[in-house]
Structure 1
Amino acid sequence: MSRDPPLAAHGLDQAQELAEFLANPPSEEGLPVPDLLFSSPFFRCIQTASVTAQKLQIPLKLEHGVQEWYSQVLPDTGLHPRPGHAEQLKQFFPDILDEQYRSTVYASRSGESVSELQARCDLFVDVFVNRIEAEYPNVKTVAIFAHAASVIALGRALTGDKAMEIRAGCATTSFYRRKSPSRLDNATQLEPMTNGTASAPGSASLEQKNTEQQKANNAKSPGGVGCWDCIWNGRADYLALGEERNWGFQDIILNAEGHVISDRGDGRPVKPGDDQPIGLAPGMEIYLTRDDIYSPLKRGTAVPGQNVERAVLSMTAEPSQQTSRPPALQRKASGAMIESRM
């Protein structure tokens, strides 16, 4: 796929070092080993994550919500590429990918401004945390393999600090720990979380009741945007050569007007629906706690039984600022690990 080069030999070495660190963290630090692994669906990111997945013997789940950041496309240049799902990519990564998992959020193939990237990651954090609690109630720690820009935006969403200086070097790791309810403003006593799995046929009333309780419990759960402490910021001491190719939003290339430079698409003709799906995936609404819209498109809805990949999402007419994806992001993969201590 265009703009998705594989890792260089040095990147493969870094992936091995990262996997060894995540699977065998220093015992004196009391660090957690991840229970679940998630990766951006871009090839280089899966390559990085697959080494850890093999070492831990944990299936790797592909999540478009943490995919690479692209700027707004120039007119008549096509759209930005979007990787496939596990069933399409398993030929390259046999026996590693979870073919049942479906993404929580989708980025726009038309590109995003910096604020829209942050909105995407805010939406992802808000929904993803509640989804994990519901679908995997015994999970304590997850590792997310993503890209420099999305790792930084995720960190800002988790901490709620949009000005936070987060580093994202190749194969570095940032670690976020959930704040206890007593440390949150207006914290409330948590109630048991309803399992988010679908009910059996014929139990629509039970499913509706569970959905309503799920929303109520999610609203009380102190795990969304701004509810995490940053413990490590771009840790790299486990890498033989240390931190390399550090990137931050201060490295964005701007035009004379101060806007991020726009980018070319894939050069292919654009047909109606080629940009779909975008925003919150159909079926994920039950985990949303805020009245949050991912610009430039509203979160989507689908008729019952409609496949996520074929769902047509509702659009808004909000204009988006012209932005650009810096060339330095094209061959990088970084990681973020989040831990929930209930």
Structure 2
Amino acid sequence: MSQIVWIARHANRLDFVNPDWFLTAERRYDPPLSEDGMVQAQQLANRLKREHITHIFASPFLRTVQTANAVAEVLDLPIKLETGLSEWLNPVWMKEEPLRLLTRALAELFPRIDISYTPRIAVNYPETYEKMQERSGQTARCLTTEFSPENILLVGHGASVLGAAIGLVGEIARTEVKASLCSLVKVVRQHPEWLLELKGDTSHLTQVEEVIRFN
């Protein structure tokens, strides 16, 4: 049987729109979505509402949870927080381990979060690019195998979207996938192969970033 894996990058983030937010933020490496990002997330949800997705997995960072929540509301599904889809914990980007809300605190804000779900892949600060790619690829393979043949959605970051795609289809994804904000990658399993059908689609968005920022 075939299986479809959708991989989405989070929508636009507040510190991209207002860089000064970072200067006074309590959790400066965990920004929320911007106003236009919330619109993008809703457009993503509308794009996916007829795709027969049965499970939604999201990185535990606020911007990915907000993006996943917009889809979960439309699809009437829970959200499983998967640390393996996390942002690249790059010490150049992040001077210390990023503070983020704990799962129960997030669940109070987003009741669709399934607090019984246990993340399958761990992540540790700091990590190299190679380590990030390894764990995001491993996460994609683990979840697709465990939940096969059901269609699933993975909501991550620029780096982990690319890493997840490489983990499924191989090195071809490195040059083919363009993970702009709120873009969609579609990978289809036709045993024994994975086929890359969408490489970073943004046709569902009314506003698309001109320059792709890889985080």
Which interval holds the TM-score relative to the shorter structure? 0.7 to 0.9
- 1:150-169 aligned at under 5 Å gives the runs 150-161=160-171, 163-169=174-180
| Structure 1 counterpart of 2:119 | 103
More strand by share: 2
**Residues 1:59 and 2:69 aligned together:** no
| Structure 2 counterpart of 1:15 | 41
More helix by share: 2
| Structure 2 counterpart of 1:258 | none
Q: Structure 1 residue 126: deviation in Å?
A: 3.2
Task: Normalising by structure 2, report the TM-score.
Answer: 0.79
| Structure 2 counterpart of 1:80 | 97
**Residues 1:231 and 2:197 aligned together:** yes
**Residues 1:148 and 2:158 aligned together:** yes
Query: Size of the alignment, in residue pairs?
Result: 188
| Structure 1 counterpart of 2:129 | 114
Q: Structure 1 residue 78: deviation in Å?
A: 6.9
CA RMSD of aligned residues (A): 2.2
Q: What letter corresponds to residue 165 of structure 1 in structure 2?
A: E
CA distance in 2, matches of 1:166, 1:143: 16
Look up the SS of the partner of 1:90 in the other structure. Answer: helix
Q: Structure 1 residue 180: deviation in Å?
A: 1.7
CA distance in 2, matches of 1:88, 1:61: 14
Identical-residue share of aligned pairs (%): 28
Q: Structure 1 residue 73: deviation in Å?
A: 6.5
CA distance in 2, matches of 1:16, 1:40: 18
Structure 1: 5+ residue runs without aligned partners?
25-31, 134-138, 182-226, 249-328, 330-342
Look up the SS of the partner of 2:171 in the other structure. Answer: coil
Look up the SS of the partner of 2:178 in the other structure. Answer: coil
CA distance in 2, matches of 1:112, 1:51: 30
| Structure 2 counterpart of 1:123 | 138
Q: What letter corresponds to residue 39 of structure 1 in structure 2?
A: A
**Residues 1:178 and 2:204 aligned together:** no
Q: Larger radius of gyration, structure 1 or 2?
A: 1
Q: What letter corresponds to residue 114 of structure 2 in structure 1?
A: D
Q: What letter corresponds to residue 63 of structure 1 in structure 2?
A: E
Q: Equivalent of 1:241, from 207, 211, 215?
A: 207
Q: Equivalent of 1:4, from 24, 30, 50?
A: 30
For residues 209-268 of structure 1, the C-alpha deviation after alignment (integer angstroms, 9 at most, x for no partner) is: xxxxxxxxxxxxxxxxxx4111001101111124554245xxxxxxxxxxxxxxxxxxxx
For residues 242-298 of structure 1, the C-alpha deviation after alignment (integer angstroms, 9 at most, x for no partner) is: 4554245xxxxxxxxxxxxxxxxxxxxxxxxxxxxxxxxxxxxxxxxxxxxxxxxxx
CA distance in 2, matches of 1:114, 1:88: 29
Q: What letter corresponds to residue 171 of structure 1 in structure 2?
A: C
Task: Normalising by structure 1, report the TM-score.
Answer: 0.51
CA distance in 2, matches of 1:17, 1:156: 26
Look up the SS of the partner of 1:61 in the other structure. Answer: strand
CA distance in 2, matches of 1:82, 1:157: 27
Q: Structure 1 residue 160: deviation in Å?
A: 1.3
C-alpha distance 243-178 of structure 1, shift in aligned 2 (>3 A): farther
Contact 1:42 1:67 survives alignment (8 Å) = yes
Contact 2:188 2:194 survives alignment (8 Å) = yes
| Structure 2 counterpart of 1:184 | none
Contact 2:42 2:70 survives alignment (8 Å) = yes
Look up the SS of the partner of 1:19 in the other structure. Answer: helix
